[in-house]
Amino acid sequence: MKKQASTKKTTVKKTTRAAARNEIPRTSARTKFNPWSLSIYVYWFIILFFIAATFYILGRSHGILNQRQTDNVEITEEALIGGAQYYESGREKLLAGNVDEALADLNAAIAAENPTPEMYVLRGEAYMLSGNYAASESDFNRALEISPTSSMAFYDRALLHARMENYDMALDDINNAMAAAAQESNSVLAMRDLYAKRGQLNLWIKNWDGAIADYTNSLARPDGMVNYNVYAERAEAYTAVGQYSSAIEDYASAIRVISEQIQGKYTAEERESLSSRAMSYFERSAALNVQIGNGTAAMSDLDSARTIAVALGDNDSVLRIDGLMSSLAE
């Protein structure tokens, strides 16, 4: 009996030791620190972080691009070509008389970049020619906001006011244009032209003395080219104040300028238009010669007018002039 008990006790101890031996390795395997396994976890964490950051940045960029498209802020053809090229194209088209096409180019020029006063002035001229006076004045005003001493903006706005028969406002703008041009010369706008335009405005409001003074100043200026209209319009002012001899001299000067300009410098249509002007000036001169009692000079003027009428094939004018010559001969 004792041996059996002893055997059982020994068996229990062996079993306990064996169990202890089996448990200890399993427990050690779970708790033992492995540095390589930690490195793998950190590595994958870094990879996942960068993937997430990349998608976040791409998402933000996509959102910004969508916002730009929503706000209509995008690279346009106008921005790529440049406002300066559109401005030059618009200027050429306006000079050629293509007002609508010029407006399209000038709109593009102003939208493409920071617009210059010249862009607004030119578009204002195009609007004026198209009959959109409100838009024209707005552009001239905008040009003057950018450049308060723009003689061209003042001059063009004066032309606009004259078209709308706002002569007082037109005179104010011409005076401002002259003051601006005196401070800073303008290669396009000569003082001769400014004096001539102010003379014309004074003529229209029947300020005869003011018109004569301005036309005289215009003709005395060395800059620019003499316009036959200046002589003809000063002749009108002289006629209004009774200075007939001076008016006759101015009509003769206007005819002389026309004869100089007509030689091979104009199309057939333009030559005919200038010839018609000269014919009318001869008739006016004849009427003034009658007023001062110089019948011979009057007959000579009418004969010159008749020669032009015949050359133009203007039979109505030929008949009219023949009637005047018959009356004068009686």
CATH number of the domain residue 129 falls in: 1.25.40.10
- Asked if residue 44 is part of any domain, the answer here is no
Residue-wise pLDDT tens digits, 232-280: 999 999 999 999 999 999 999 999 999 988 876 678 888 999 999 999 9
Q: Are 178 and 235 within one domain?
A: no
Domain tally, the chain = 2
- Phi (first) and psi of residue 285, to 5 degrees: -60, -40
- Asked if residue 66 is part of any domain, the answer here is no
Closest CA to 84 of 52, 59, 118, 132: 118
- Asked if residue 16 is part of any domain, the answer here is no
- Asked if residue 4 is part of any domain, the answer here is no
Q: Are 183 and 232 within one domain?
A: no
Structural domain for 150, as ranges: 80-187
More confident residue, 281 or 68: 281
- Asked if residue 147 is part of any domain, the answer here is yes
The predicted pLDDT at position 278 comes to: 97
Instruction: Tell me which of 91-95, 130-134, 182-186 is least confident.
Output: 182-186
Q: Are 89 and 182 within one domain?
A: yes
Q: Is the pTM of this model over 0.85?
A: no
- Asked if residue 232 is part of any domain, the answer here is yes
Q: Are 113 and 166 within one domain?
A: yes
Banded model confidence at residue 101, pLDDT cuts 50, 70, 90: very high
- Asked if residue 36 is part of any domain, the answer here is no
Q: Are 167 and 243 within one domain?
A: no
Residue-wise pLDDT tens digits, 146-172: 999 999 999 999 999 999 999 999 999
Q: Given 163, 187, 211, which residue is the final one in a domain?
A: 187
Only one residue has tokens 């009356």, namely: 327
- Asked if residue 22 is part of any domain, the answer here is no
Residue-wise pLDDT tens digits, 102-161: 999 999 999 987 889 999 999 999 999 999 999 999 999 999 999 999 999 999 999 999
Q: Are 166 and 254 within one domain?
A: no
Q: Are 164 and 85 within one domain?
A: yes
Three-class HEC string of 31-60: HCCCHHHHHHHHHHHHHHHHHHHHHHHHHH
Percentages helix, strand, coil for the chain (3-state, rounded to 5) are: 80, 0, 20
Amino acid type, 243: Q
DSSP states of 81-126: H-HHHHHHHHHHHHHTT-HHHHHHHHHHHHHHSS--HHHHHHHHHH
Q: In the predicted model, is pLDDT for residue 71 greater than 50? A: no
